[in-house]
């Protein structure tokens, strides 16, 4: 991607209580995210705004959650912001 995102969105196949959502750059520094719902909400989609404009580089979003039937799950979403002009 060429333009830094202002927000992230994750969709789930069933209602999930997201217990952890974190954004890291390639050096392992965490960047703030502001969630749109409370941690105790059972949701099918999670949206969070990014606290500051991200510079070019590689990033990963790490998340963990608890489904309505009690299963714990999680994952990682990776993306890259390209240098302008590339």
Nearest-angstrom CA–CA distance, 76 and 21: 10
The number of folded domains in the chain is: 1
Residue 52 lies inside a defined structural domain of this protein? yes
What are the φ/ψ torsions at residue 33 (nearest 5 degrees)? -125, 140
Q: Considering only CA atoms, which of 49, 51, 57, 52 is closest in space to residue 82?
A: 57
Query: Is residue 2 one of the residues assigned to a domain?
Result: no
* Domain annotation covers residue 1: no
Query: Which residue has better confidence, 49 or 13?
Result: 49
Per residue in 25-84, pLDDT (tens digit) is: 999 999 999 998 766 678 888 899 998 899 999 999 999 999 888 889 999 999 999 988
């Amino acid at each position: 991607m060429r333009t830094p995102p202002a927000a992230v969105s994750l969709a789930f196949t069933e209602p999930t209580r997201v217990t952890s959502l974190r954004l890291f750059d390639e050096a392992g520094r965490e960047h703030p995210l502001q969630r749109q719902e409370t941690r105790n909400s059972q949701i099918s989609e999670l949206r969070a705004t990014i606290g500051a404009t991200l510079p070019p580089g590689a990033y990963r979003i790490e998340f963990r959650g608890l489904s309505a039937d009690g299963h714990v799950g999680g994952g990682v979403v990776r993306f890259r912001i390209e240098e302008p002009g590339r």
